[in-house]
């Protein structure tokens, strides 16, 4: 009813913002570029890696290096620039939230200057990330609360990669993530000795991306109501692993993803069977009793969804050598989760 009323107002010639019309998703576009809603106009929304490349190279997934490299966000194309050709698009918070981190030292990350904001939607924590910024809004600081649509930065082309971002593909790199582990810094020190971690827990490796395209499309007027929790729970399983670990931060951060198992409740939890999507996002954690666990290994592969592996192989979490097994990358990803 409300939507109908708002539409009538719009027809009456009053200015109604897209955000008001489309209250279906708790997340808004981070810039004024909304061309994602218009089928066939993908090239106006996504910035491909080169002019002769498909728009999909600017989307989320196994879209780089002939499908063998993951791109964990959306590259949303610039709509406006100054006389020198530099992007000037305001970048806005995708939802109400709290600023957790920003980095103004472009040389310290392939994200360049970037911001991380924490949101709680449907009781679920989600972290938005905005990268390659030229300037961060004055007054923004960790701990500051922001409103959806509030300007937090100006689009830019900052990055520390040798391949610069050209003016013609200026974009904001936008991610929506789960946070893997509060103990990331300690894990990093132990597992990657000698390597620098300039961003603590806000290192991109500790933020596991979901496809923001699906989430933003839910904002389209007329789309059915979006539930972040259902979206997370409804991820397609790449594989299932069993871990002999019972106390890791993810369980407390995402209790809504922990399933019920009366047997484990009765006998005591000795581990968790964890469903991972192709990007390594843990989206279902089933407690297991000792009597339900075979094998002594701390991390075991239980099953692989082969169709999903073939559709999205680029994270290389599992490999088939005769039988399926976790790769070193897969073991590392799960090890980081339960550290
Ligand atoms: Zn990107």
Structure confidence by residue, pLDDT tens digits, 289-317:
999 999 999 999 999 999 999 999 999 99
Residue 268 C-alpha to ligand 1 middle, in angstroms? 44
**7 vs 76 pLDDT, higher one:** 76
Q: Is the pLDDT of residue 208 over 70?
A: yes
Residue 272 C-alpha to ligand 1 middle, in angstroms? 33
Cβ contacts of residue 194 below 8 Å, gap of 6+?
none
Structure confidence by residue, pLDDT tens digits, 34-67:
999 998 999 999 999 999 999 999 999 999 988 9
Residue 74 C-alpha to ligand 1 middle, in angstroms? 6
Q: Is the pLDDT of residue 120 over 80?
A: yes
What is the distance between the alpha carbons of residues 199 and 79, in angstroms, rounded to a whole number? 30
What is the distance between the alpha carbons of residues 247 and 268, in angstroms, rounded to a whole number? 13
Residue 26 C-alpha to ligand 1 middle, in angstroms? 22
Please state the length of the chain. Answer: 339
What is the per-residue pLDDT for 223?
82
Query: What secondary structure letter does DSSP report for 329?
Result: H
SS3 238: coil
Average pLDDT over residues 87-105: 97
Dihedral, 55, 57, 60, 64 alpha carbons, nearest 10: 160
Average pLDDT over residues 144-160: 97
Residue 119 C-alpha to ligand 1 middle, in angstroms? 21
Ligand 1 (ion): which residues have CB within 5 A?
A: 75, 173
Q: Is the pLDDT of residue 167 over 50?
A: yes
Residue 55 C-alpha to ligand 1 middle, in angstroms? 12
Residue 210 C-alpha to ligand 1 middle, in angstroms? 13
Residue 308 C-alpha to ligand 1 middle, in angstroms? 23
Residue 71 C-alpha to ligand 1 middle, in angstroms? 6
What is the per-residue pLDDT for 23?
52
Residue 58 C-alpha to ligand 1 middle, in angstroms? 6
Structure confidence by residue, pLDDT tens digits, 281-293:
999 999 999 999 9
What is the per-residue pLDDT for 24?
61
Residue 325 C-alpha to ligand 1 middle, in angstroms? 30
What is the per-residue pLDDT for 26?
86
- The percentage of the chain sitting over the pLDDT mark of 70, rounded to a whole number, equals 93
Whole-prediction pTM: 0.91
What is the per-residue pLDDT for 273?
98
């Amino acid at each position: 009813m409300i939507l109908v009323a708002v539409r009538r107002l719009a027809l009456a010639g009053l200015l109604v913002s897209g955000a008001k019309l489309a209250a279906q998703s708790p997340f808004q576009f981070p810039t004024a570029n909304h061309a994602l809603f218009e089928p066939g106009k993908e090239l106006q929304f996504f910035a491909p890696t080169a002019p002769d490349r498909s728009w999909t190279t600017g989307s989320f997934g196994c879209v780089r290096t002939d499908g063998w490299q993951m791109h964990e966000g959306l590259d949303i194309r610039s709509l406006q620039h100054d006389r020198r050709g530099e992007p000037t698009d305001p970048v806005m918070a995708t939802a109400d939230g709290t600023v957790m981190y920003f980095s103004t030292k472009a040389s310290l990350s392939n994200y360049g200057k970037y911001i991380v904001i924490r949101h709680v939607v449907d009781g679920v924590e989600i972290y938005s990330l905005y990268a390659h910024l030229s300037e961060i809004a004055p007054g923004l600081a960790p701990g500051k609360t922001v409103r959806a649509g509030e300007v937090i930065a100006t689009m830019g082309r900052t990055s520390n990669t040798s391949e610069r971002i050209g003016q013609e593909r200026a974009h904001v790199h936008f991610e929506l993530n789960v946070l893997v582990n509060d103990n990331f810094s300690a894990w990093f020190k132990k597992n990657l000795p000698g390597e620098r971690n300039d961003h603590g827990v806000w290192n991109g490796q500790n933020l596991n991306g979901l496809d923001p395209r699906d989430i933003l499309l839910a904002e389209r007027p007329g789309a059915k109501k979006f539930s972040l929790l259902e979206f997370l729970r409804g991820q397609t399983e790449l594989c299932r692993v069993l871990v002999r670990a019972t106390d890791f931060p993810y369980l407390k951060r995402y209790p809504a993803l922990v399933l019920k198992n009366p047997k484990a409740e009765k006998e005591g939890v000795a581990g968790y069977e964890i469903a991972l999507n192709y990007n390594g996002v843990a989206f279902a954690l089933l407690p297991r009793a000792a009597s339900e666990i075979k094998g002594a290994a701390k991390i075991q592969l239980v099953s692989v969804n082969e169709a999903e592996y073939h559709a999205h192989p680029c994270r290389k979490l599992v490999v088939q050598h005769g039988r399926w097994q976790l790769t070193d990358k897969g073991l590392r990803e799960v090890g980081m989760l339960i550290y």
